[in-house]
Structure 1
Amino acid sequence: MPYLVPPHIPSGRIADGAQPALTADGGLCLRPWEYTDAPAVLAAFSDPVIQRWHLRRADSEDEALDWIEQWQEAWLAETGIHWAVVRPKGGTSDGAEQLLGRVSLRSLMLGTGQAECAYWTLPAARGQGVAPRSVTAVARWAFDEIGFERLELAHSVMNAASCRVAAKSGFSLEGTRRRGHLHADGWHDMHIHARVRDDEASCVPVEGAGPGAP
C-alpha cells in the first residue's frame, strides 16, 4: 500500500556526503570519531557518572574500537550521527587537541524528520558549557542542513544536570514518561524535552552546564 505522504527527508540525504565537522561556541569543534580515539573512549566509560546515565562500560580498547566503527557505520546506514567534541590543536596550553565529550543524533526517523539527541562530557570538561554548546550546534545543523523537524532529548528525572543542558540548548520540557528507562538501580521516570525547527534557543549556553546525559 503506498504512503500518502512522501518521506520528509529522502534516503541518501545524509549518507551521500561525508560527515561534516561542526563548530560550536567557545572554540569547540565537533568532528567524526577516529580509531585513534579508542583510548579516550575507554577512559571515558570508566567514569562512574557516564556509566550511571549511559548504562554501559568499555572493558578493553578493542571494545572501544568496535564502538567507534559502529558510530562511523551509522552515518552510512543513516541510523545515527556521532561526533567527538574536542578543543582543537592550539586551543590548549600544550597545543594538543583535547577530547571533551560526545554528542550524537540517534533513533533517526527520516520519514518523519525526527531524531533524538544524546551526549556526555568528560569530568575535566564539566561545568564549562560544553554540552549545551555542542547540542545547540548539532540542532542548528540538523534543522538547517538536513531538514529535521523535531529533535527530542530524554533523561532521568534524577539527572538535574542534564535537565539544565536541555533548557540551555532550547529544548522545552514537554512531559514525563513514567518508568521510562531501566537503570542499574531500578526504573526511572524520564523527562522528555523537544525542540522543533521553528523554535529559537531559549538562552545562550553559559558556564556551569553540568555533565550531560545518557
Structure 2
Amino acid sequence: MSSTAAPFPARMELTGDGLVLRDWTEQDLAAMPELFDHPDIAYWTPIVSPFDEKAARVRLDRARQLRAEGTTILLAITTDGGAPLGEVMLRRAPEGTEIGYAVGPAHRGQGLAARAVRRMAAYAFEELGVERVILEVEAENASSVAVAAKTGFRLLDVPLIQGQEKGRPFVLQTWGLDRP
C-alpha cells in the first residue's frame, strides 16, 4: 500500500441500486464453488479452476489478507445481504484503481455486474477520492464489454495488456470511467 493511500475499512457493506455488496464470510464458503466453478469463470478470470471448497477457503483468507494490506477489496454481490450471487473487486494497482467482477452462472442476466460496478465506482470516487476507475477486459468477452459500455466506461487509448493465464494467452483492453 502506498503511503498516500488510505487504509480500507476492516468491514464493509455498500448498498444501492438494488444491491448489498458485503464482506465474504465463513457462511459463504459452501456457496462459493457454485458461483466460481464454471468454464466461463475459469476462462475469463484469474479465479482458480477447478474451484472447490478448499479453493473457497483460500479465496476467503486471501480476500482478508489483501484488504488488510490495503491493496484489494473483494465483496460478495447480494440483493439483500444474504446469499452471494457473485463478487466485485476493487484493486489499487500501478495502472489505476481497477474494478473486476464475476457473477455466478445461475444469476446472470439480472444486471448484477453492471450494478455492482456502478456501486464500486461510486465508492472509489466518493470514499477513496480517485479520479478514474478502470476495467481490464478482453475484447472477445462480449458480456464484459457490454457491462463496460452500459456503465459509462470508455475504451482508453492506452497500450493493450498482454499476458498468459492458466496456459492461454490474453489481451486486455483498458476501459476508464472518470470521476463525475
**Counterpart residue type for residue 23 of structure 2:** P
In the alignment, the residues of structure 2 paired with residue 119 and residue 108 of structure 1 have an alpha-carbon distance, to the nearest angstrom, of 16
Change (3 A) 1:75 1:46: same
In the alignment, the residues of structure 1 paired with residue 140 and residue 165 of structure 2 have an alpha-carbon distance, to the nearest angstrom, of 11
- TM superposition score normalised by structure 2: 0.87
In the alignment, the residues of structure 2 paired with residue 80 and residue 72 of structure 1 have an alpha-carbon distance, to the nearest angstrom, of 9
Q: 1:10 aligns with which of 4, 12, 16?
A: 4
Check conservation: 2:24, 2:76, Cα contact below 8 A: yes
In the alignment, the residues of structure 1 paired with residue 167 and residue 52 of structure 2 have an alpha-carbon distance, to the nearest angstrom, of 25
1:78-97 equivalences under 5 Å are: 78-88=70-80, 97=82
Give the aligned partner of residue 36 of structure 1: 27
In the alignment, the residues of structure 1 paired with residue 80 and residue 15 of structure 2 have an alpha-carbon distance, to the nearest angstrom, of 10
What percentage of residue pairs aligned between the two structures are identical?
31
Q: Secondary structure at the match of 1:165?
A: helix
1:42, CA displacement in angstroms? 2.0
Change (3 A) 1:181 1:24: farther
1:63, CA displacement in angstroms? 2.5
- Provide the aligned C-alpha RMSD in A: 2.3
1:65, CA displacement in angstroms? 0.9
Give the aligned partner of residue 141 of structure 1: 123
Give the aligned partner of residue 101 of structure 1: 86
The structure that has the greater radius of gyration is 1
Check conservation: 2:37, 2:52, Cα contact below 8 A: no
Check conservation: 2:164, 2:170, Cα contact below 8 A: yes
Change (3 A) 1:175 1:39: farther
* Correspondence 1:125 to 2:117: no
In the alignment, the residues of structure 2 paired with residue 178 and residue 10 of structure 1 have an alpha-carbon distance, to the nearest angstrom, of 28
Alpha-carbon deviations, 1:131-166, whole Å to 9, x = none?
010000000011111111221101111101100101
Higher relative contact order (CA 8 A, sep 6+): 1
Change (3 A) 1:179 1:70: closer
Name structure 1 gaps, 5 residues minimum.
1-6, 90-96, 199-214
- Aligned pairs, number: 178
Q: Secondary structure at the match of 2:127?
A: helix
* Correspondence 1:187 to 2:169: yes
In the alignment, the residues of structure 1 paired with residue 157 and residue 32 of structure 2 have an alpha-carbon distance, to the nearest angstrom, of 32
- TM superposition score normalised by structure 1: 0.74
Name structure 2 gaps, 5 residues minimum.
none
Q: Secondary structure at the match of 2:136?
A: strand
Change (3 A) 1:185 1:179: farther
1:58, CA displacement in angstroms? 4.4
